[in-house]
Amino acid sequence: MASTVPAVRQTADVQPWPAPHADGPVSGVVTLPGSKSLTNRALVLSALADGTSRIRAPLWARDTELMARALTDLGTHIERVGEDCEIHPATLHGADVDTGLAGTVMRFVPPLAALATGSVRFDGDSYARERPMATLIDGLRQAGVVVDDDDRGRLPFTIRASGAVKGGQVRIDAAASSQFVSGLLLSAARYGNGIEVVHVGDERVPSAPHIEMSLDMVRRAGVDAAATGPSSWVVLPGRIRAQDWTIEPDLSNAAPFLAAAVVTGGTVTVPGWPLSTTQAGDALRNLLTQLGASVSANADGLVVSGGAEITGIDVDLHDVGELTPVIAAVAALASTPSTLRGIGHLRGHETDRLAALATELTRLGGEVSEQSDRLTIRPRRLHGATWRAYADHRMATAGAVIGLAVDGVVVDDIASTTKTMPDFPALWSSLIGA
């Protein structure tokens, strides 16, 4: 079942980019910037804490800059200190918040803004107005928050904040995004009754590791928080303690760099890979092994070496959907077919990622069968062409991976990678030796 080809969108600073082609095995060490997911959660919790927090080695990229600006507009003082930042909480007030195309901003900031005094209006990029928000709006209303959205369930909308939120049990269908759950959990300790989020949909909540990440960080800030079942989570009311947060490297952003080793038969090391983490990107260790790579962790970090050939994979990516574009790119270069399942929720991300991947791989000569929640990829000899990113950072990096093995690939909008990586082209060229 093929869906409508997504509209071609580009970032404001369009930069068509001839993807470097690898003439041999790619080997090197890639030091990655910090995790967007951890940085933005730390920013939200720090803005609600009872003192000054410090975030060490945060990511400074488009999505985290949007988060910092949103919190600043609401009254929080954020000070850059070298590569770190200090967050000084203050009384929250009304503001106009620009979410850009950042899902964490549009889903994490409204529950925090409900604790302000005054009206807080949310709006973002044109495509942000198409992304689902009705679930969060419904949850906020159940928690006692007044939201004006003209019954659209989309941006723009306005929160009429009174300085306090009742909280209590919230029953929502969060099958479209785990961010609806995380957004409510992160601010809930400041609600009068805390919160109990109950997922009532028939389908599982996607990206479950991100919910565990939120709970873990809330607990580290001194708040009682736990999963009370497979589809329910509780945060009790209480103080959010100021913290000294140290941000891990972004493991999901490691995907294209580690994939470079797989598709070229080289070896790539990512230093600082944590031995234990809540990041979804840690699943790369198992996924790349299934694709035929050799994967090991040592004192130097995570080391991935490509095998004699790339083997197809049949895998459920429901919990780690953000890895899908790069895994699909590697699968398109495999010797046997692959099926990527459980990823229907990716249709509501920066673009409809299933339709986008099917369209772009087909443009390069691939054979892709698209169904509502899966892609089946049958390897074919690919050829060079323009790879459209649809203003989606993960689509852009997938195009870069394809370009290593296929000469003549041009990514139409490499600037979209600034969403989570400040200078992807430089990192990529340094690794490839381009």
User: For residues 395 and 397, what is the distance between their CA atoms, to the nearest angstrom?
Assistant: 6
The arithmetic mean of pLDDT across residues 303-332, rounded, is 97
pLDDT tens-digit map of 169-201: 999 999 999 999 999 999 999 999 999 999 999
Residue 5 has pLDDT above 60, yes or no: no
Where in the sequence numbering do the catalytic residues fall? 322
Residue 151 confidence class, pLDDT cut points 50, 70, 90: confident
| pLDDT at position 147 | 98
Residue 11 confidence class, pLDDT cut points 50, 70, 90: low
pLDDT tens-digit map of 35-74: 999 999 999 999 999 999 999 999 999 999 999 999 999 9
Residue 2 confidence class, pLDDT cut points 50, 70, 90: very low
Q: Check whether the bond before 156 is cis (ω within 30° of 0).
A: yes
pLDDT tens-digit map of 389-430: 999 999 999 999 999 999 999 999 999 999 999 999 999 999
| pLDDT at position 1 | 44
User: For residues 408 and 111, what is the distance between their CA atoms, to the nearest angstrom?
Assistant: 46
Residue 152 confidence class, pLDDT cut points 50, 70, 90: confident
> HEC string of the chain?
CCCCCCCCCCCCCCCCEECCCCCCCCEEECCCCECHHHHHHHHHHHHCCCCCEEEECCCCCHHHHHHHHHHHHCCCEEEEECCEEEEECCCCEEEEEECCCCHHHHHHHHHHHCCCEEEEEEECCCHHHHCCCHHHHHHHHHCCCEEECCCCCCCCEEEEEECCCCCEEEEECCCCCCHHHHHHHHHHHHCCCCEEEEECCCCCCCCHHHHHHHHHHHHHCCCCEEEEECCEEEECCCCCCCCEEECCECCHHHHHHHHHHHHHCCEEEECCCCCCCCCHHHHHHHHHHHCCCEEEEECCEEEEECCCCCCCCEEECHHHHHHHHHHHHHHCCCCCCEEEECCHHHHHCCCCHHHHHHHHHHHCCCEEEEECCEEEEECCCCCCCEECCCCCHHHHHHHHHHHHHCCCCEECCHHHHHHCCCCHHHHHHHHHCC
| pLDDT at position 8 | 55
**Phi and psi of 311, rounded to 5°?**
-100, 145
Give the list of residues 6+ apart from residue 292 with CB closer than 8 angstroms, or none.
262, 306, 307, 308, 309, 310, 311, 334
Side chain identity, residue 184: L
Residue 10 has pLDDT above 80, yes or no: no
| pLDDT at position 395 | 97
pLDDT tens-digit map of 327-338: 999 999 999 999
Per the CB < 8 A criterion, the answer to whether 67 and 105 are in contact is yes
The arithmetic mean of pLDDT across residues 220-232, rounded, is 97
Q: Which residue has the higher pLDDT, 367 or 8?
A: 367
pLDDT tens-digit map of 80-110: 999 999 999 999 999 999 999 999 999 999 9
pTM to 2 decimals? 0.92
Q: Measuring CA to CA, which residue among 231, 307, 296, 211 is closest to residue 264?
A: 307
Residue 4 confidence class, pLDDT cut points 50, 70, 90: low
The arithmetic mean of pLDDT across residues 371-389, rounded, is 97
User: For residues 39 and 392, what is the distance between their CA atoms, to the nearest angstrom?
Assistant: 20
* Cβ atoms within 10 Å, residue 193: 15
Per the CB < 8 A criterion, the answer to whether 331 and 303 are in contact is no
User: For residues 369 and 12, what is the distance between their CA atoms, to the nearest angstrom?
Assistant: 32
